[in-house]
Structures are given as structure tokens and as C-alpha cells.
């Protein structure tokens, strides 16, 4: 039940957020400060997600081979690899590293 | 068929052709998402319905990550906040939408990062028919990828062995790279978010650490302009 409610909540709130412009604002615009804060939510949260994914609960799941794979994906994307290719490079780097380490 | 209808059909077809590009990585990420949801014990129906209705990789990955390690409220909060940009994007799109509020709200549901970029005419004007067309192959790829991932349901140890545990954080990192290019403040917000999450992680559950990371966005309220944003 907790899962269904969470899925439903995220789905409905996502719909409302996408409809936010037409529904709420009409022809008005967000205040400049609110636009600036909202625009920075994604980079702040994405950085937090990367840390949480790598560290796990209480930093108990940290795995340096996973960090190497993620770094490889990031470097590949900075060097202009498309999203899918960059992610695949990261996956391959981690898999090869683990294979090499036995 | 009159000229207006032909133009709309042409825009929709052009959008679908353009949408095939981002649909390919969406399909693979859908498989990864489905497999991870299966590995987390989410069952079959919940992830598939979630993909079909929410159609949001970042929010779905976030909920999956945060819900498995933290409270439901914090997980939902984190998943919603990751999509906060859609509020701004839909406000930007608003001027190009036509019709009543309900019709415009329904059309805005086709909004994705890729479709937003593909439909941009420049000067803040958007081809809404093209935007909807571009989202069709992406939605199909996301839902079918999720289904395949759920059916294949590879075990977690296999996911780690072949490196698929890297896909989630790598996907987030690739999205973050795009965000970092936007402005100096985006870089500062990302650094702040990572720092806050790193400090909070040993002290509280990961869902709360994620919510705490969003406090870094408050630097947007500081006075002064960001030269990179202005030039960009």
C-alpha cells in the first residue's frame, strides 16, 4: 500500500507541476527569485542523489569500483559522448574493473 | 484536409522523427529501471503503471532510490523536487499553448527535457504539436523498456557483476553535467547539495539527506545576477 500511495502521489504531483503554468499562472510569470530557486533545485538534488547512490545508508555501501564507473561516464559525457554512450562506458568500465580484480 | 491540419500533421510527424533519437537511451534506461524495480521487490504492476502515467525517469529513479532507504514522505518529497524544473518549463511553455486551461494543461503533460529542446523555435516560442509528437516515441520506449526490464528481472548480483549498478548514478551525473553548464550558481548549488548530502548521510536516512541537499538551491534567492546565465 505504501508503494502504491507513493507512486500515485508522485504521479499526480508531477501532472500538477507540468500543468502548473497553464493552470495557475495564466499569463502571469513567477517572481524572479522563485524562478532562480526552482531552477537550482535540479543541480542541488542531482548532486545529492549521486552522493546517496554512491554512499548508501550511513556510507555503508560505498564501492570504489562503482565510483570509477560513474566517473568514467561523467568524463565520457564531458568529452561529448551522448547520454546513452556515456552511461554504457561507465557500466563497461566498472564491469571490466571488477572482472580484472576477480 | 485543410492547410492548417496539414501543417499540424507535418509538425507531429517531424516531432516523432526527432523523438526517435532520445527514445533509444530512454529504452535502455527503462530496462535498467524495470530491472532495478523488480530487484527492489516492487512487483510488476506498480513500476509499469508508474512508467505509463508519470513518464519521468528522474522522479522514478529518485523514488526507487529514496523509498528503499528512507521514509515514504521524504522519498515522495525528493522525487517531486527532482522535477521542480517542470514548473518553470511549463510556465515558459505557457505562452505557446492555445485553448482553454484544461486543454493547455493536458498538452503540457507531453513535456520532457528532450521534447522541450526539440520543440523550441527560439526566442521562447515552441511548436506544441512537434513537442507532443517528439514525446510519443520516448513514452513508448520508456514503458516498453520498463516492461522488458521487469520480465527479464535479472538478480541484483548479476546487475553488479555486469556494472548495471553504475547506471543510476551515471544517469544522474550525466543530467547534472547539463545542469552545471547553465550557470555558476548551478555549479554552486550542486557543490552545496553534494556537501550537505555527504554530511547528512551518516546522521540520518538517505531520503532526509536528499531533501537536505535541496536547501543548496536557496542560493538562488541571493541578490545579484549570474553573468553566465545572462550571457547564456
Q: Are B214 and B193 in contact (CB under 8 A)?
A: yes
Averaged pLDDT for residues B179-190: 88
How many cross-chain Cβ pairs, A to B, lie less than 8 Å apart?
Answer: 296
A91 and A47 fall within a common domain: no
pTM over 0.80: no
Query: Which domain does A53 fall in, by range?
Result: 1-58
Q: Are A10 and A45 in the same domain?
A: yes
Which of B181-185, B213-217, B220-224 is predicted most confidently?
B213-217
**Is the same domain home to A28 and A46?**
yes
| Cβ <8 Å between A37 and B217 | yes
Which residues does chain B have within 8 Å of residue A33's beta carbon, measured at their own beta carbons? 220-221
CB contact under 8 A, B84 and A90: no
Residue that wins the pLDDT comparison between B231 and B185: B185
Residue B227's pLDDT is what? Answer: 45
Task: Check pLDDT > 70 for residue A20.
Answer: yes
The dihedral formed by the CA atoms of B50, B56, B62 and B63, expressed in degrees to the nearest 10: -20
Q: Give B-chain residues touching A74 at CB under 8 angstroms.
A: 170, 173-174, 177
Mean pLDDT of A8-33: 84
Does residue A4 share a domain with residue A42? Answer: yes
Region label for B180, one of left (φ > 0), alpha (ψ between -120 and 50) or beta (otherwise)? alpha
Mean pLDDT of chain B, nearest integer:
85
Q: Do the chains contact at A44 and B162, CB–CB below 8 Å? A: no
Q: What's the confidence (pLDDT) of residue A37? A: 79
**In terms of domains, do A50 and A72 share one?**
no
Q: Between the ranges A29-43, A72-86, B216-230, where is the mean pLDDT highest?
A: A72-86
Task: Tell me which of B37 and A42 has the higher pLDDT.
Answer: B37
Q: Can you give the three-state secondary structure of B27-58, one letter per residue?
A: HHHHHHHHHHHHHCCCCCHHHHHHHHHHCCHH
User: What is the predicted pLDDT for the residue at B230?
Assistant: 38
State the Cα–Cα distance between residues B184 and A37, nearest whole angstrom: 14
Q: What is the mean pLDDT of residues B8-21?
A: 87
Q: Which of B24, B48, B79, B169 to mutate to test the interface with A (most CBs of A within 10 A)?
A: B169
Contacts of B54 in chain A (CB under 8 A): 7, 10-11, 14
Residues B31-42 pLDDT 10s: 889 988 988 889
Reduce the DSSP state of residue B182 to 3 states and report it.
Answer: coil
- Per the model's pLDDT, the better-predicted residue between B144 and B232 turns out to be B144
Confidence of residue B178 (pLDDT cuts 50, 70, 90): confident
How do strand B125-126 and strand B120-122 relate by DSSP bridges?
A: antiparallel
Report pLDDT for B123. 56
Give the integer Cα–Cα distance in Å for B11 and A94.
42
Pair A49, A70 in one domain: no
- pLDDT tier at B231 (50, 70, 90 boundaries)? very low
Confidence at residue B160, expressed as pLDDT on a 0 to 100 scale? 82
Residue B21 has pLDDT above 80, yes or no: no
**Number of domains chain A contains:** 2
**Pairwise CA distance, residues A93 & B3, whole Å:** 53
Q: What ipTM describes this predicted complex?
A: 0.84
Query: Which residues, 6 or more positions from B6, have their beta carbon under 8 angstroms from its beta carbon?
Result: none
**In a shared domain, residues A14 and A31:** yes
Interface test with A, best of B173, B190, B229 (most A CBs within 10 A): B173
Q: Do A43 and A84 belong to one domain?
A: no
Identify whether residues A53 and A24 lie together within a single domain: yes
Name the minimum distance, in Å, from the CA of A25 to any CA of chain B. Answer: 7
Query: What's the rounded mean pLDDT across residues A59-76?
Result: 95
Q: For residue A29, what pLDDT is reported?
A: 66
Domain ranges for chain B, please list them.
Answer: 3-163, 181-232
Amino acid at each position: 500500500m505504501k508503494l502504491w500511495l507513493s507512486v500515485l502521489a508522485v504521479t499526480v504531483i508531477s501532472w500538477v507541476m507540468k500543468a502548473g503554468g497553464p493552470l495557475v499562472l495564466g499569463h502571469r510569470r513567477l517572481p524572479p527569485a522563485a524562478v532562480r530557486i526552482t531552477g537550482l533545485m535540479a543541480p542541488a538534488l542531482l548532486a545529492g542523489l549521486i552522493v546517496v547512490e554512491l554512499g548508501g545508508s550511513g556510507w555503508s555501501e560505498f564501492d570504489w569500483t562503482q565510483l570509477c564507473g560513474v566517473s568514467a561516464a561523467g568524463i565520457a559525457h564531458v568529452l561529448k559522448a551522448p547520454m546513452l554512450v556515456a552511461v554504457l562506458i561507465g557500466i563497461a568500465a566498472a564491469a571490466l574493473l571488477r572482472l580484472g580484480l576477480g | 484536409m485543410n492547410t492548417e491540419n496539414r501543417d499540424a500533421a507535418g509538425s507531429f510527424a517531424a516531432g516523432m522523427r526527432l523523438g526517435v533519437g532520445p527514445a533509444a537511451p530512454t529504452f535502455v534506461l527503462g530496462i535498467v529501471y524495470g530491472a532495478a524495480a523488480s530487484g527492489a521487490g516492487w512487483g510488476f504492476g506498480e513500476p509499469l503503471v508508474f512508467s505509463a502515467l508519470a513518464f519521468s525517469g528522474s522522479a522514478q529513479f529518485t523514488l526507487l532510490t529514496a523509498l528503499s532507504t528512507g521514509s515514504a514522505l521524504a522519498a515522495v518529497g525528493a522525487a517531486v523536487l527532482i522535477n521542480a524544473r517542470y514548473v518553470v518549463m511549463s510556465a515558459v511553455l505557457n505562452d505557446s499553448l492555445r485553448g482553454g486551461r484544461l486543454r493547455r494543461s493536458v498538452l503540457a503533460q507531453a513535456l520532457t527535457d528532450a521534447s522541450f529542446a526539440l520543440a523550441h523555435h527560439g526566442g521562447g516560442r515552441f511548436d506544441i504539436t512537434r513537442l507532443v509528437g517528439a514525446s510519443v516515441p520516448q513514452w513508448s520506449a520508456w514503458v516498453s523498456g520498463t516492461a522488458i526490464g521487469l520480465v527479464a528481472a535479472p538478480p541484483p548480483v548479476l546487475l553488479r557483476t555486469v556494472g548495471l549498478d553504475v547506471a543510476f548514478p551515471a544517469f544522474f551525473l550525466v543530467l547534472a553535467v547539463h545542469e552545471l553548464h547553465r550557470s555558476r550558481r548551478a555549479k554552486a548549488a550542486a557543490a552545496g547539495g553534494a556537501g550537505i548530502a555527504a554530511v547528512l548521510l551518516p546522521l540520518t536516512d538517505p531520503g532526509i539527506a536528499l531533501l537536505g541537499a535541496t536547501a543548496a538551491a536557496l542560493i538562488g534567492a541571493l541578490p545579484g545576477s549570474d553573468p553566465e546565465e545572462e550571457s547564456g
